[in-house]
Structure 1
Amino acid sequence: MRSRPTTTSVLVVGGGPVGLTLSLLLSAHGVRHLLVEAHPGTSRHPKARGVSARSAEVFRRLGLEADLRRAGLPPSHVHFYRGRDLVDPDFVRTGITADPRPGAERTPAPGLICSQDALEAVLLRHARERVPADIRFHTRMLSFTQDDGGVHAELEDRATGARRTVHADWLIGCDGAASTVRTGAGIAMEGPSGLGHFLSIRFEAPLGEVVADRASASYFLTAPGRGGFLAVDNDRHWVYQHPYDPAHDDLAALLADHRALARLVRDAAGLPALDVTVRDTMTWRMDARLAAAYRRSRALLAGDAAHVVPPTGGHGMNTGIGDADNLAWKLAAVLDGRAGERLLDTYQDERRPLARQVIDLSLANARARTGYRIDDELLLTAAYRSTAVLAEPGALDRAPLDPACEHWDAVPGGRLPHLSLPGTPGAASTLDLVGPGFTLLTPAPDAAWQHQADTAAAAGHPVTPRAVPLDEPRWTQFSGLPATGALLVRPDGHLAWRAAHPPTEDTGLLGLLRRVLSADGAAPPRP
């Protein structure tokens, strides 16, 4: 039996970390949306675990950071172990070294380890608090069509078999590497696949005392063919990643034999008497693939639907979270009439080159078998180049990620740098001054800049002036501008523009906002 069509602004397909983050961001921007996920619940397997500093900043802006830190490993466990097995006396344990220079802190929200099953549970709880009726698990999208008026999607309730049609202005595929949205939109994937095959075994075992002097987030085994262990709680709950050869190994027989799986764990751990209880398994394949396009008409891709990143870097999920952060405010601006549809083209212009670089760095890690992470600070330097950024001369020559990690200044396209603001109510960092819309940062309240902001707001393009409580020398060091200058920050925390002085014409800032938003020819903003 078919129910009446549902109408929404955005249909999000996929309820993993990226889809749930997108839902939370859309709610923060006041965008009506529906999220559907084919599975009956969140992931039962830890899967991805590393939350980068940049992702932690996104969750900080959403008010979720504290909950995620409680759900993750303590900071003292964020180390990386290398040894023949878990009891190797000659093990090597490394951590993330903080910059010892005064004032060198790069973020108020350092990266953390929170396994995907715990992460998704936190995200889902908060997403349902915001739109309780519009987060629907055990619901799959069967097919969709699109035209100038929007997207028409056929959904099925997998519990009852009931079908319904949803009409949406935009469709976002956050539905993984085998994306139904990507296939339906006719977008190809490019790049190698089958670079490695792994059996992931989630198990319980009393390993807490064994690793007490070497507690780490990941345990990489140097013995050939043994893979490694991932800590869920560094006590009883673990994941063992076992490499296998699909051409020679009888995987079906192995999966059916929990005693054989337990032996694999014991052999890799170097503990033949270890009491192992296998809880579940999954298999996965290492690919390095990138979608040929991130948008086809009214369908867009995010997360693994757009890019499949080798895990040797720990940034596949984080790249997807960055996609959601970039896309949500742009959808909001287009939907309320402040921006033209061309703004959505900047999503691909900004995120695809970055994903290409992350894939290449991760692939180099996999081939070299040295180093299993991309430095969090590298992602904090990520810089965008598109028409949604009013770039300065020479800026287009810079790659999205700068391996030298030298650019911490406030330049258009880059993330607003973090600067601690002790004693500032409600803002421990410059990052806390941003959002939910565009923000204009000045070193002190300024009548000329306030007039520019008021003029833009009167024309339907609100921007919030905020004073950064810094004296002139510190402001200049932070912004690269004199005391008369200002920074225009986008809702995702990236700088759209900076200027040393207020524009001479009353509509100067308004014109700049319209350029950033591709607003020429757009419908008038909604009141």
Structure 2
Amino acid sequence: MNQEISKNFPKYNTDVLIVGGSIVGLSAALFLAWRNVNVIVVEKHESSSKHPRAIGFTELSLEHYRAAGIIDKIPQVNSNSRLRRAKVESLTGNWHAEIPWTPHEQENDKGILSPVTGAAIAQDLLEPIIRQSAKDFGANLHLGTELIELIENGEGILARVKNRKKNEIYEISAKYVIAADGANSSIREQLGIKIKGVGHLRFIRSVLFYCTEAEFYLEEGIQQFEIDQTEFKAFLTHYPDGRWVLMFNADHEYSESDLKSYILQALGRKMNIDIITTGTWEMAGQIAEEYQKGHIFLVGDAAHQLPPTRGGFGANTGIDDVYNLAWKLQMVLQNKNVGKELLETYHLERYPIGWLRHQQTFSRPDYLQWVDTSFKAETLLSSEAMEFGQRVNSTAVLNNDTCANLPLAAHPNIWLGHTGTRVPHAWVSRYEERISTIDLFTKSFVAISKDISWLDIAKRISKELGIDIEVLHVGIDIHFLDDKIFEELFDISKDDCILVRPDAIVAWRSTKQCGNKYNCFKEAFKKVTSYK
């Protein structure tokens, strides 16, 4: 990185600078601004890409948007919704067989393990919602602005950027930078961060179009089609807003006439079609070996490039990245007692998940066919395990000695509130309002127990250390539908206490070895917050 600092440009100051304003960068801006962190986003384009790109946004992603208070702006799918795919000769020709995402797995209804069901909204329609919500919370968006260079200046980063329309250069001084600048991240390259994975597989040509006649063939409930012809292999899918996209090998340039011919070949007969746009993208799998370097964090495709999957391992992984990072940045920026070591847990927690999702993606039939024989397929994990049962391991969770041999993901019913895992979902009553347990853990650390002595200790330690801890007295502050549900859900006794992070991850739980409750809680809390 260039070390030279110029004093001749207009300057802006912010806590966090986000480079890249697609879905992950915008989500980072939303989560930070919602947490009252000053944030600037620079994005070289004026608006979203015409290509829809991601279409499925998972329950976990929507839980994060729910926490930020914007869930009512995002249409959710029905609880029995399924993303189904079939291998066919053509849309109107012979249909061979339906292809499951995870072989031999029966997909369960949504809304059972989560208070939300997910969304089948195209990325180019979701981005304006997230963009406006981020602005409403105070995020400063510099659209049509590209990064020229980043300059390290001791306690932070100086970014030199250019407004493309006005051709004006100015500087932004930030304490931290989030690199959401895509799979070919120039920031990652400047930092010299290496990548690993299956690498480049092929380039894909995608063509977006309207075809009203073709919608008749969606009545069977299949939305995705693998076109399998002797001389033509392609992928055809439909978006709920009426658009279709066809994808196939991009081995040369194509005229509009060529594209129409391929579309009709996939459809199987002549229909009226209206091409919207076309483009090329790279099918690849690559994971950055470092998610953080100094004051800079990699998120989204800059950290993990993965192809589109029915499991939502692409954009959704990036949204989960920035939800994990946002509360940590908030605590370090807004509380002098929280050490910067807390930020180091971002890489420790998110890199293993990125690599797990890489392995799970290319071990599934959808993509296993494209990798070479050196790739060793892994045992497939269930959709529930990958979505709700991921386990993080860092100094921001207090695990015991048995955790080293635990899997990175398992069905959430197995975890029962284990440290490093997401809080189990259950409906509770608070102030006569029906909410999810997930809704209880969004703004600060929370101590939850039936034993008031633990909560009194939490209040005392919060005051002593100067770090917020909310306390929840089960049976008083919140009510489960059944008195025993709390103990069963977390596999604890009525005398135990659980400490939950602001991202609904269990940070610590009391054990029988806690002789002195005060000392036990205080030491645990100091460790998980990197207390100075």
Q: For residues 459 and 97 of structure 2, what CA distance do their matches in structure 1 show? A: 55
Q: For residues 65 and 147 of structure 2, what CA distance do their matches in structure 1 show? A: 28
**Alignment partner for residue 205 of structure 2, among 180, 191, 199?**
199
Corresponding residue for 2:368?
367
Q: In 2 relative to 1, CA 215–393 (structure 1 residues): closer, same or farther, beyond 3 Å?
A: same
Secondary structure of 2:448 counterpart? strand
**Alignment partner for residue 482 of structure 1, among 476, 493, 497?**
493
Q: In 2 relative to 1, CA 64–104 (structure 1 residues): closer, same or farther, beyond 3 Å?
A: closer
**Alignment partner for residue 279 of structure 1, among 258, 276, 279?**
276
Q: For residues 222 and 67 of structure 1, what CA distance do their matches in structure 2 show? A: 39
Q: For residues 228 and 355 of structure 2, what CA distance do their matches in structure 1 show? A: 29
Alignment of 1:499-514 (within 5 A): 499-500=510-511, 504=516, 506=518, 508-514=520-526
Deviation larger for 338-347 or 421-430: 421-430
Deviation larger for 299-308 or 447-456: 447-456
1:48 Cα deviation from its structure 2 partner: 1.2
Q: For residues 94 and 75 of structure 1, what CA distance do their matches in structure 2 show? A: 18
Alpha-carbon contact 2:337-2:465 (below 8 Å) kept: no
1:66 Cα deviation from its structure 2 partner: 2.9
Q: In 2 relative to 1, CA 278–394 (structure 1 residues): closer, same or farther, beyond 3 Å?
A: same
Q: For residues 282 and 124 of structure 1, what CA distance do their matches in structure 2 show? A: 24
Secondary structure of 1:227 counterpart? strand
Alpha-carbon contact 2:53-2:122 (below 8 Å) kept: yes
**Alignment partner for residue 527 of structure 2, among 511, 515, 527?**
515
Instruction: Give the TM-score of the pair, scaled to structure 2.
Output: 0.88
Alpha-carbon contact 1:185-1:299 (below 8 Å) kept: no
1:438 Cα deviation from its structure 2 partner: 0.8
1:420 Cα deviation from its structure 2 partner: 2.2
In structure 1, give the amino acid aligned to 2:308. Answer: P
Q: For residues 503 and 139 of structure 1, what CA distance do their matches in structure 2 show? A: 57
Alpha-carbon contact 1:461-1:510 (below 8 Å) kept: no
Q: In 2 relative to 1, CA 295–76 (structure 1 residues): closer, same or farther, beyond 3 Å?
A: closer
In structure 1, give the amino acid aligned to 2:386. Answer: L
Corresponding residue for 1:525?
none
Secondary structure of 1:123 counterpart? helix
Structure 2 residue 69 is matched with structure 1 residue 63: yes
Secondary structure of 1:238 counterpart? strand
1:127 Cα deviation from its structure 2 partner: 1.1
Corresponding residue for 2:3?
none
Alpha-carbon contact 1:28-1:436 (below 8 Å) kept: no
Alpha-carbon contact 1:443-1:469 (below 8 Å) kept: no
In structure 1, give the amino acid aligned to 2:398. Answer: L
1:454 Cα deviation from its structure 2 partner: 3.5
**Alignment partner for residue 248 of structure 2, among 201, 221, 242?**
242
Structure 2 residue 25 is matched with structure 1 residue 8: no
Corresponding residue for 1:524?
none
Secondary structure of 1:226 counterpart? strand
Corresponding residue for 1:86?
91
Q: For residues 424 and 216 of structure 1, what CA distance do their matches in structure 2 show? A: 43
Q: For residues 63 and 330 of structure 2, what CA distance do their matches in structure 1 show? A: 20
Q: Deviations over 1:116-136 (max 9, x none)?
A: 11111211121111125x111
Q: In 2 relative to 1, CA 278–315 (structure 1 residues): closer, same or farther, beyond 3 Å?
A: same
In structure 1, give the amino acid aligned to 2:74. Answer: L
Q: In 2 relative to 1, CA 198–94 (structure 1 residues): closer, same or farther, beyond 3 Å?
A: closer
Q: For residues 505 and 206 of structure 1, what CA distance do their matches in structure 2 show? A: 66
1:374 Cα deviation from its structure 2 partner: 6.7
Q: For residues 225 and 51 of structure 2, what CA distance do their matches in structure 1 show? A: 18
Alpha-carbon contact 2:41-2:141 (below 8 Å) kept: yes
Corresponding residue for 1:136?
142
Q: Deviations over 1:351-383 (max 9, x none)?
A: 101111100111122114899997244221000
Q: Work out the number of aligned pairs and report it.
A: 504
**Alignment partner for residue 210 of structure 1, among 193, 216, 236?**
216
Alpha-carbon contact 1:362-1:374 (below 8 Å) kept: no
Corresponding residue for 1:399?
407
In structure 2, give the amino acid aligned to 1:416. Answer: V
**Alignment partner for residue 231 of structure 1, among 210, 231, 238?**
238
**Alignment partner for residue 303 of structure 1, among 277, 300, 304?**
300
Q: Deviations over 1:48-75 (max 9, x none)?
A: 11212211211121222232226x7996
Gapped regions of structure 2 (runs ≥ 5): 1-6, 371-376
Structure 2 residue 317 is matched with structure 1 residue 319: yes
Q: For residues 291 and 89 of structure 2, what CA distance do their matches in structure 1 show? A: 42
Corresponding residue for 2:285?
288
Q: For residues 521 and 383 of structure 2, what CA distance do their matches in structure 1 show? A: 36
Q: In 2 relative to 1, CA 297–327 (structure 1 residues): closer, same or farther, beyond 3 Å?
A: same
Q: For residues 122 and 382 of structure 2, what CA distance do their matches in structure 1 show? A: 18
Alpha-carbon contact 1:81-1:218 (below 8 Å) kept: yes
Q: For residues 297 and 84 of structure 1, what CA distance do their matches in structure 2 show? A: 52
Structure 2 residue 30 is matched with structure 1 residue 19: no
Alpha-carbon contact 1:443-1:472 (below 8 Å) kept: no
Alpha-carbon contact 2:79-2:117 (below 8 Å) kept: no
Alignment of 1:105-254 (within 5 A): 105-131=112-138, 134-207=140-213, 209-223=215-229, 225-233=232-240, 236-244=242-250, 246=251, 250-251=252-253, 254=254
Instruction: Give the TM-score of the pair, scaled to structure 1.
Output: 0.88
Corresponding residue for 1:495?
506
Alpha-carbon contact 1:426-1:432 (below 8 Å) kept: no
Q: Deviations over 1:28-56 (max 9, x none)?
A: 22111111111111122111112122112
Q: Deviations over 1:490-510 (max 9, x none)?
A: 111111001158873545433
Q: For residues 512 and 147 of structure 1, what CA distance do their matches in structure 2 show? A: 34
Q: For residues 93 and 278 of structure 2, what CA distance do their matches in structure 1 show? A: 26
RMSD: 2.8
In structure 1, give the amino acid aligned to 2:479. Answer: P
Deviation larger for 166-175 or 330-339: 330-339
Corresponding residue for 2:330?
332
Corresponding residue for 1:431?
438
Secondary structure of 1:194 counterpart? strand
In structure 1, give the amino acid aligned to 2:489. Answer: F
Alpha-carbon contact 1:503-1:509 (below 8 Å) kept: no
Gapped regions of structure 1 (runs ≥ 5): 521-527
Secondary structure of 2:442 counterpart? coil
Secondary structure of 1:211 counterpart? helix
Q: In 2 relative to 1, CA 163–289 (structure 1 residues): closer, same or farther, beyond 3 Å?
A: same
Corresponding residue for 2:374?
none
Alpha-carbon contact 1:484-1:500 (below 8 Å) kept: no
Q: For residues 241 and 140 of structure 1, what CA distance do their matches in structure 2 show? A: 29
Corresponding residue for 2:479?
469
Alpha-carbon contact 2:183-2:305 (below 8 Å) kept: yes
Corresponding residue for 1:348?
347
Deviation larger for 8-17 or 77-86: 77-86
Q: Deviations over 1:200-221 (max 9, x none)?
A: 1011111454224223442233
